[in-house]
């Protein structure tokens, strides 16, 4: 297994050749993810499963929309493709140094936005929790703080993405939060 040797709660992946798709469940009400696969140069593609809707919040009567925060930057040197363990990632550290405005998105609108970024980006950098289903990948690419429907308050294990674009050498750091997350 690709991530089995990593003794860390998070994994950091950098890759190119991005391919994205919306989840296509039998029940359209259960489509709550966008999948972006990438080539990190490790012999197999890695898929990131990104939440664009909270079924748990919807089922509990809360707002199921996801809030998106973006930090726009410019890159000089691209990070190298690869996979490495990562111990801690906390949105609060970034929010202390950047004015991050979070905006609610409907499921389809957020899905389309992420797919557009994946189609235009040269490279993607992701922090997330490893998982294995049909193939190895990352999930929990969002804030892990307590939310309206989830009582567990996990600090320091947030997941995020940074898309790198050729146009104007722009990079966009993407943060995702659910209803009730600080």
The string of pLDDT tens digits covering residues 136-165 is 899 999 999 999 999 999 999 999 999 999
pLDDT at res. 12: 98
pLDDT at res. 1: 66
Kindly report the length of the chain: 182
Pairing of strands 136-139, 45-51: parallel
Radius of gyration of the chain (CA): 16
Q: How far is the C-alpha of 61 from the C-alpha of 67, rounded, in Å?
A: 17
pLDDT at res. 5: 77
pLDDT at res. 161: 98
Residue labelled with tokens 């990593």: 6
The string of pLDDT tens digits covering residues 64-103 is 999 999 999 999 999 999 999 999 999 999 999 999 999 9
pTM: 0.95
The answer, yes or no, to whether residue 133 has pLDDT greater than 80, is no
Burial of 55 (0-12, 13-18, 19+ CB in 10 A): middle
Q: Which tokens belong to 33?
A: 């993810």
Whether 45 and 68 have beta carbons less than 8 Å apart is answered as no
User: What CA–CA distances, in Å, run from 129 to 59, 78, 107, 111, 136?
Assistant: 24, 23, 22, 20, 11
pLDDT at res. 61: 97
The answer, yes or no, to whether residue 26 has pLDDT greater than 90, is no
């Amino acid at each position: 297994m690709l991530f089995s040797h990593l003794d860390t709660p998070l994994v950091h992946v950098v890759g190119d050749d991005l391919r994205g798709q919306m989840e296509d469940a039998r029940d359209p009400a259960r489509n709550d993810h966008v999948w972006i696969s990438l080539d990190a140069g490790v012999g197999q593609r890695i898929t990131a499963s990104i939440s664009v809707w909270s079924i748990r919040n919807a089922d509990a009567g809360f707002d199921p929309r996801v809030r998106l925060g973006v930090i726009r930057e410019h890159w000089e040197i691209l990070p190298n493709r690869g996979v490495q363990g990562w111990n801690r990632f906390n949105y609060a550290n970034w929010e202390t140094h950047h004015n991050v405005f979070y905006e609610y998105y409907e499921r389809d609108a957020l899905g389309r936005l992420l797919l557009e970024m994946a189609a235009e980006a040269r490279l993607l950098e992701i922090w997330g929790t490893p998982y294995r289903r049909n193939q190895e990948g990352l999930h929990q690419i969002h804030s892990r703080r307590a939310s309206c429907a989830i009582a567990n308050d996990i600090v320091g294990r947030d997941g995020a993405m940074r898309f790198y674009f050729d146009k104007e050498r722009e990079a966009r750091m993407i943060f995702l939060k659910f209803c009730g997350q600080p």
